[in-house]
Amino acid sequence: MRRWYRDRMLAFLDPPEIVLILVVVLVLFGGAQLPKLAKNLGKAQKEFKDGLSEGSKTAETKPAEKAADDSSTT
């Protein structure tokens, strides 16, 4: 029997296990800290994505700059 959630990212976790993890997180951090935790995780994700896009931009410009330098020196 194939379950609908087996194709998802967290396929190795069944729904009861996910609920248990959420309860443990709630007990550890408390209800008041969860919004702060979610906000900080969102900020970290945004900074990570910005860093990736900035890195890809510099990686794309480096070969073009090197080609321009090589043609001007010869």
pLDDT at residue 46, as a whole number: 95
pLDDT at residue 5, as a whole number: 54
- In the predicted model, residues of the chain with pLDDT beneath 50 are none
Provide the 8-state DSSP code for 74: -
Model's pTM, two decimal places?
A: 0.48
Which of these, 51, 52, 22, lies nearest to 37 by C-alpha position? 22
Which of these, 11, 13, 31, lies nearest to 23 by C-alpha position? 31
**Structural domain for 36, as ranges:** 4-73
Total domain count, the chain: 1
What share of the chain in percent tops pLDDT 90? 24
pLDDT at residue 47, as a whole number: 95
Radius of gyration of the chain (CA): 23
Tell me which residue has tokens 């029997």: 1
**CA 43/CA 64 separation, integer angstroms:** 32
